[in-house]
């Protein structure tokens, strides 16, 4: 029973799908490197890596509880532990709370500014699951939630959140819109039936164009914001490689096939890693 319950909890937090927390990790680490002008030290690297994994896992618990009545009508999500009844709502909320508290324990080892911003990050995490009922582009709300590691990284290193952090957050928000729209394209038919609001539905026949424009805005904002802060040649090569990956994703989703859209979504963590690698190498070889 214990082993079975553990398996259900691991399924609830998507332990077998690391792409989810990697999408949060790479921009957070990128910001950490920029704020530190290079390697941030093992303490902050550990705090933000483990914190990212824990908060993404807690977010999955909250999201599945909020969406349980909708998920049973969507082919891809009908067998999620809370939706199927294998894990109770109370269990899921307790697990999410424990994971969030563990993440907060890590934040307590940083400084007062980071601790203060962590409450804003938690608030956005709690709001997002319900945004899909009322906001025509809930991916923008997710973009804020998935980008909040950026100002927190600056706060942890510099005890302040400079304008650069918010510019990078804005750019990263467009990346989240791009890949989560690809994700939403997978479930568009089911979401239309149950009245869920997503960017894929809102954009309609302009969905592919919207995804590609979002990729463009993301890469342009990050390239421009960091041009004079990192070794430009290496970083621009990384931005170029990320751009080629974005074009590949555009090719995959052009026919709007479910499997291809899901594949494009899953490959996005490599795009984020490419940008991070460009930043890290720029400081290493400067």
pLDDT at residue 4, rounded to an integer: 82
Q: Say how far apart CA 278 and CA 282 lie, in whole Å.
A: 6
Write down the pTM of the prediction: 0.93
Confidence class for position 128, pLDDT limits 50, 70, 90: confident
Measured between alpha carbons, how far is residue 220 from residues 142, 153, 173, 212, 245 in Å?
20, 21, 13, 12, 15
pLDDT at residue 193, rounded to an integer: 81
Report yes or no: 238 and 277 within 8 Å, Cβ to Cβ.
yes
**All structural domains of the chain:** 2-284 (1.10.357.140)
Confidence class for position 135, pLDDT limits 50, 70, 90: confident
Query: What is the tens place of the pLDDT at every residue in 49-89?
Result: 999 999 999 999 988 888 787 777 777 777 888 888 888 88
Query: What is the tens place of the pLDDT at every residue in 149-187?
Result: 999 999 999 999 999 999 999 999 999 999 999 999 998
Query: What is the tens place of the pLDDT at every residue in 232-282?
Result: 889 999 999 999 999 999 999 999 999 999 999 999 999 999 999 999 999
Does pLDDT of 2 surpass 80? no
Please provide residue 228's backbone torsions phi and psi, each rounded to the nearest 5 degrees: -100, 10
The rounded mean pLDDT for the chain is: 92
In terms of pLDDT, which residue wins out, 261 or 20? 261
Query: What is the tens place of the pLDDT at every residue in 111-127?
Result: 999 999 999 999 988 88
Report yes or no: 95 and 82 within 8 Å, Cβ to Cβ.
no
Q: Say how far apart CA 180 and CA 178 lie, in whole Å.
A: 6
Q: Say how far apart CA 101 and CA 158 lie, in whole Å.
A: 24
Candidates 112, 120, 104; CA nearest to 54 is 104
Residue 119's Cβ-count burial label (10 Å; 0-12, 13-18, 19+) is: exposed
Residue 240's Cβ-count burial label (10 Å; 0-12, 13-18, 19+) is: middle
Structural Rg of the chain based on CA atoms: 19
- How many Cβ atoms sit within 10 Å of the Cβ of residue 231? 15
186: which residues sit within 8 A by CB, 6+ positions away?
76, 258, 261, 262, 265
Q: Say how far apart CA 190 and CA 212 lie, in whole Å.
A: 24
pLDDT at residue 255, rounded to an integer: 95
What H or E segment, with its residue span, contains residue 22? helix 19-36
Per-residue DSSP letters for 63-117?
Answer: HHHHTHHHHTTSTTTTTSHHHHTSS-HHHHHHHHHHHHHHHHHHHTTS-HHHHHH
Q: List the structure tokens of 209.
A: 């164009």
N residues, the chain:
286
Q: List the structure tokens of 67.
A: 């969406």
């Amino acid at each position: 029973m214990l082993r079975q319950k553990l398996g259900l909890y691991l399924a609830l937090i998507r332990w077998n799908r690391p792409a989810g927390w990697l999408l949060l990790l790479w921009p957070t680490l990128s910001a950490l490197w920029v704020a530190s002008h290079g390697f941030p030290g093992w303490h902050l690297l550990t705090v933000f890596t483990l914190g990212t994994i824990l908060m993404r896992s807690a977010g999955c618990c909250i999201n599945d509880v909020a969406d349980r009545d909708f998920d049973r009508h969507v082919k891809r999500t009908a067998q999620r532990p809370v939706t199927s009844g294998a894990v109770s709502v109370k269990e899921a909320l307790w697990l999410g709370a424990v994971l969030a508290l563990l993440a907060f324990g890590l934040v307590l080892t940083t400084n007062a500014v980071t601790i203060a911003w962590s409450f804003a990050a938690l608030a956005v995490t709690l709001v997002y699951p319900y945004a899909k009922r009322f906001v025509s582009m809930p991916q923008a709300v997710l973009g804020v939630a998935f980008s909040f590691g950026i100002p927190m990284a600056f706060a942890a290193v510099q005890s302040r959140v400079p304008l650069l952090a918010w510019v990078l957050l804005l750019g990263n928000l467009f990346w989240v819109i791009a890949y989560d729209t690809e994700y939403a394209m997978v479930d568009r038919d089911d979401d239309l039936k149950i009245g869920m609001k997503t960017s894929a539905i809102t954009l309609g026949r302009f969905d592919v164009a919207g995804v590609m424009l979002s990729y463009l805005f993301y890469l342009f904002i990050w390239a421009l914001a960091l041009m004079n802060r990192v070794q430009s040649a290496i970083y621009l090569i990384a931005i170029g490689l990320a751009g080629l990956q974005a074009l590949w994703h555009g090719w995959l989703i052009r026919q709007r096939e479910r499997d291809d859209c899901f594949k494009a979504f899953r490959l996005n963590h490599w795009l984020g890693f490419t940008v991070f690698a460009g930043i890290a190498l720029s400081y290493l070889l400067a």
